[in-house]
Structure 1
């Protein structure tokens, strides 16, 4: 059986797994990013026995620089144009490395494991990312950042996003963005979006308002994107998506309100089925595809 190494680079943790072409995870591990992300990546990869592994797929928080095989995760300041493909090739003894954005890998993983061949994948966590799968293939775009909806300008926040622009979805709809806004209105529940979600579920007005505000910004970006690509399915994952109805109820309502044109009326917005492993499955599918071996189709 063909086996690849999948690596998922997030803003606060790195995960990796060996994955078979039959869509099964053989071994999995993760580590917090820590103060030295380069050392963390090396320590994570060295936990695996790579005997028989044929390639590496990596999904990273963006932006990514496909031409250089590099990444500049907004939430990892120590990495700017970090040569991640070269680093992973060295760590794995010269294995071929395929790169895409982390949300792109989530989209590809969801598609591979049984969703429609064309979809928008969205990750709502420390940041907001997105990725596109069109007719079963990842659509990466000119630089590798296609579908990265977190930096579509739709928000009403006057402070600049960490990317330098104003009004980014990520500034409004990410976990830290919602917490920051709620705290500015007097919410004193801490700095964790999970606590904000718990308060929203209990009916605390400012917490509910923060999620409604974030959901509206997210809905605007989703509708803009699916209108351009005539998509039917949106899959939303990430830590904030774990809030469940607290996020999805206002998000679906806002999407329905914005989806005026007839071909958007059957648009579906659903939770990611693969949870925390979606990016790993997508990175594995990316590696298998780039190696010329089509992943086994999902069984229905």
Structure 2
């Protein structure tokens, strides 16, 4: 082989090795919510390689919460053998100033205008850091590798401590003017309904969020006076046929169906993927949801929408956060 041919072969092999090295880099994906802090190392194809989580501390100040998050991330990366990283993707509860990501999650009072993106950039210099709303990351994950894969028009939802959403139209994430497009949690489903933390009344979130649902059930006589009951216990009692617990799940499902009917008419959706802790209730939630959706979605095109549980389950937000790194051409519009 000539000297030039040898040099070319070596150069080509070097490029291939670099490409293999880039492909082997993992995204550090983070999901920050009012109930849990979760993190994962995700492969370029969307597979979660390593995963860890902890409860969101409720008794810490802003810096204490930040240290708790860093401890989770450091442990995850160390346990995985300190692999090379391609970037940092984050889903965080809102509101936030986007894309700079000064975050003020309604359900995490310790953080108000906390500069999450800047702090992560300081911690991981030289790597892309991309932060979006946690519900938007669920929508992205479900479109990229979940129930909305192959569909152009998808609404992804989270029903948990809060209710949020993200919107994919024509195969791309829609951010809106401030990064909050798709925030279905504050669609009004009952103008005479309960007050919402946003300052409004009758929002979907005020009715269907887990803590709000528990509070309503207790007002109706379910486990009154207790302060330690959860949405999981409410769901379990509904499965056992407790009338108030069953009515609470029916109430949440109907509110979701009404909101989704409005979204389907507005956005001409194909799929709505519902994730978050309350979605684990299964038919207790989805049966009244479907009934209300079919009662209110009267236009033919809106009636074609399918509502399904998030195919990625509790990892949907983490997979979506990784997609902000690996599929930025479709899901990240801010750099």
TM-score of the pair, normalised by structure 1: 0.92
Q: Find the counterpart in structure 2 of residue 88 from structure 1.
A: 120
Shift of 1:117: 3.3
Q: How far is 1:260 from its partner? A: 0.6
Matches within 5 A, 1:61-140: 61-114=93-146, 115=148, 116-140=151-175
Where does residue 37 of structure 1 map in the other structure?
A: 65
Change (3 A) 1:51 1:200: closer
Shift of 1:243: 0.7
Matched residue pairs, number? 294
Which secondary structure does the structure 2 equivalent of 1:46 belong to? Answer: helix
Q: What SS class does the counterpart of residue 304 from structure 2 fall into?
A: coil
Compared CA separation, residues 156 and 212, structure 1 to 2 (3 A): farther
Contact 1:155/1:171 (8 A) holds in 2:
no
Q: Is the 8 A contact 2:27 2:325 kept in 1?
A: yes
How far did residue 283 of structure 1 move?
A: 0.4
Q: How far did residue 289 of structure 1 move? A: 2.7
Match of 1:206 in 2: 244
Report the secondary structure of 1:79's partner residue.
Answer: coil
Higher Cα Rg: structure 1 or 2? 2
- Asked whether the equivalents of residues 45 and 91 of structure 1 are also in contact (C-alpha less than 8 Å), the reply is no
Q: SS where residue 39 of structure 2 aligns?
A: strand
Name 1:297's counterpart in structure 2: none
Question: Do the aligned partners of 2:270 and 2:305 also contact (CA within 8 Å) in 1?
Answer: yes
> 68-77 or 269-278: which moved more?
68-77
Shift of 1:135: 2.6
Cα pair 1:9 1:15 within 8 Å, conserved: yes
Runs of 4+ in 1 over 6 A off after TM superposition: none
**Using the alignment, how far apart are the partners of 2:302 and 2:192 within structure 1?**
28
The CA deviation at 1:174 is: 0.9
Native 8 Å contact 2:217 2:245 kept in 1: yes
The 8 Å contact of residues 31 and 40 in structure 1, kept in 2 or not, is answered as no
Deviation at 1:153, TM superposition (A): 1.8
Does structure 2 conserve the Cα–Cα contact (< 8 Å) formed by 1:169 and 1:217?
yes
Query: Which residue number corresponds to residue 46 of structure 2?
Result: 23
Q: What is the deviation of 1:30?
A: 1.3
CA separation of 1:17 and 1:75: change in aligned 2, threshold 3 A: same
The alpha-carbon distance between structure 1 residues 78 and 94, as it changes in their structure 2 partners (threshold 3 A), is: farther
Give the equivalent residue in structure 1 for 2:256: 218
Per the alignment, in what secondary structure is the counterpart of residue 225 of structure 1? helix
Alpha-carbon RMSD across the aligned residues, in angstroms, is 2.0
Which one has more relative contact order, counting CA pairs under 8 Å at least 6 apart? 1
Return 5+ residue gaps in structure 1 as ranges.
295-300
SS of residue in 1 equivalent to 2:114:
coil
Aligned pairs for 1:1-300 (under 5 A) are 1=23, 2-34=25-57, 35=60, 36-47=64-75, 48-49=77-78, 51-114=83-146, 115=148, 116-155=151-190, 158-188=193-223, 191-290=229-328
More helix by share: 2
Residues 98 and 286, structure 1, Cα contact 8 Å, conserved in 2: yes
TM normalised by structure 2 equals 0.83
- Give the distance between the partners of 1:52 and 1:274, measured in 2 at CA: 25
